[in-house]
Structure 1
């Protein structure tokens, strides 16, 4: 016997005697009983009554019990409420029709008290069990969802922590290296200008000696032949010029390192996006150039006319570094797989709707399978061998673009056709 105090029953009948009998019987054993006299009223009042079981008369004027039951079962909110038909119809066809409409049982009129209580108790017990199971399933689902959310938040926090520590360490390392290199480079650069000038003067002096003293002593002639004076006079200016170019290159690298690290990145500043991309390419130059066993990677720049963008420059440089590094990895994999092609990375920038900047970084490598594309921004997901990839590069990049800059980061890829990453960020600070 179930506990009737926990259940409510709706009686739908237009016969006063039946209503009185059922009301007194069910109320007498402790059920909460509501009564309506038509199918139309049952549908109208259902959301207010919210019964656990419905006793429904089949033969009613207007909307009969069959139609009322059909509409109850068609409604998402009431489809699970058990319906017991009450009828004087005893033929098999009517009973089958009612069961097909969704009824769970029949009570035959005239009403027998023991039969009503027995059938009501059985179906309410089933209903209560069903509700309990549904509640448990819902609770399990909610608990699982909360667990998943907690796990995501934990991964997000781990990624953020790693990002902060990585950027801080990288920024300090790069800034320190740039500082240490900068002093001797500036010293060499400042002195090589004088070395070029001194060399020019000395060579001019030697030329004057050759003009005014065309017949030097044998010892001088021997020394001229020993040092190959003509070759030295021609090659020394070239050598000094190449050293000057090398110093300029070092100065450019130092500048790129300083631009890339941007240790003052705690606040948004106006940044030249192209400068950030170029500094990243400069740092990755050793991976882009040609090697004896591997062709060089062609860099195709299609830069638009971008304004200065209010952003965290150092963090965006980290995004560029992660994406371009992955592109290089993909191209090297394609080269090793004997794919015949000219490896290239294309970088395109443009302004969208005057308020947004889009950066596209694409390669013509092997592409990314669809099942992997769905997971590439997940923290700690990687397809690289153990020890070669952490699985946080793209997760960090996604967090930087979407959370720090309120932009978007997308991946579009097709197997055999390469991959493209699209970064979209606002030009002005996000309001």
Structure 2
């Protein structure tokens, strides 16, 4: 069904309001156009909240609240493309018209109102409205597709890490099972009267319970980190986020990928909470961490070097920014690779082992969604340093 365009005519002259209305009624049906009128700026602003016009025909010179003041009140909505504004002027003051355009007016018509001028400018405004609506719909679809892509990339990463996560959980499960078996044996011996050394038994059982508690805590830590990392219910939400806890969660999820090839040093600066989409920022951390681990593994195959990953956080007070550094001693990158690093589908990994979307999505998350920065310094054979800068306040 075709959209009905809503027009608001604002002029302190009743004759001009009626003239414009009558001209529009000769060219547009009620199904094509709905028309409301206001005799001054105050009435126009009051109507705007309930009527929500697509196009305003707005007189510049009016008593009390004039057309320029109306533009100022509606500027945010105008700049977002929610309403098109055509100024009505009876004066040839270029400076005044220039100010109207600076405030977001899209066109103007001169008094006395001419049929051809009115309809041509209105049709132009209608085309502009439809174009903006189409662009908004496209933007919503692109945003949805991008969010789905981020989540798909995250789930793919979690899928690739699944075997390692299962191994990480299996270790504490194994000694929980062993200790439970030992407790059962102690209980059976105690019940049959075989345990005579009660003090030794008490010490053993205490150690067993400590081991059990440690195992349960380790499993809970892994599961909580995985839940925090992979959650999909907050794909678009911006909330307060603990960067350092996010790094811990990411390290827990990806531990199997780096623990056999690199020592990880953490130097946290006790940075403040930031406003961010924590799930997406964790995805950035994971992409950088896995790339570092893969680069170190490749370097070790070449020269057997000891892998090192250093993660640092720091608060830059003058910029109200949190800085996160990931430094590795892997294979590094040449200048050509650095230049293409954030290009979609670019990857240096073998076919089938990477999507080529990780760093492209990371750049989009940090720069476009969070108004931050992501930078890489690298030298072939000498490792890579990634720096992520994230504003503390809302972007």
Alignment TM class, shorter chain as reference:
0.5 to 0.7
Residue number in structure 1 paired with 2:216: 247
Equivalence for 1:349: 313
Number of aligned pairs? Answer: 242
Matches for 1:13-24 after TM superposition, within 5 Å: none
How far is 1:244 from its partner? 3.7
Q: Whole-Å Cα distance in 1 between the matches of residues 177 and 382 of structure 2?
A: 51
Shift of 1:382: 1.4
Deviation at 1:384, TM superposition (A): 1.6
1:281 and 2:251 matched: yes
Distance 1:169 1:359, change over 3 A: closer
Structure 1 SS opposite 2:251: helix
- Report if the CA contact (8 A) 1:159-1:395 is conserved: no
More deviation, 395-404/190-199? 190-199
Superposed CA deviations along residues 293-347 of structure 1, whole A, max 9, x for unmatched, are xxx3100101102111110000000000101010011001101112x42201110
Q: Which has the larger radius of gyration?
A: 1
Task: Specify the alignment match of 1:263 in structure 2.
Answer: 232
Distance 1:329 1:163, change over 3 A: farther
Cα pair distance change 1:165/1:376, threshold 3 Å: closer
Question: In structure 2, what is the Cα distance between the partners aligned to 1:385 and 1:174?
Answer: 19
Task: Give the gaps of 5 or more residues in structure 1.
Answer: 1-153, 182-187, 213-229, 291-295
Q: Which residue of 2 aligns with 1:389?
A: 354
Change (3 A) 1:174 1:414: closer
Once the two structures are TM-superposed, the CA of residue 381 in structure 1 deviates from its matched residue by 1.2
Q: CA RMSD in A?
A: 4.2
Change beyond 3 A, Cα 1:159–1:370: farther
Task: Provide Cα deviations, 1:205-251, integer angstroms capped at 9, x if missing partner.
Answer: 66687489xxxxxxxxxxxxxxxxx9x99877656654443222111
Gaps of 5+ in 2: 1-137, 167-173
Change in 2 beyond 3 A, CA 1:411/1:209: closer
* 1:160–1:351 CA distance, 2 compared to 1 (3 A): farther
Q: Compared with structure 1, are the counterparts of its residues 171 and 331 closer, same or farther at alpha carbon in structure 2 (3 Å cutoff)?
A: closer
Show the 5 A alignment for 1:180-329: 210=196, 241-265=210-234, 266-290=236-260, 296-329=261-294
Q: What is the rounded CA distance, in whole Å, between the counterparts of 1:161 and 1:345 in structure 2?
A: 33
Distance in 1, matches of 2:336 and 2:195, equals: 78
1:399 — aligned with what? 364
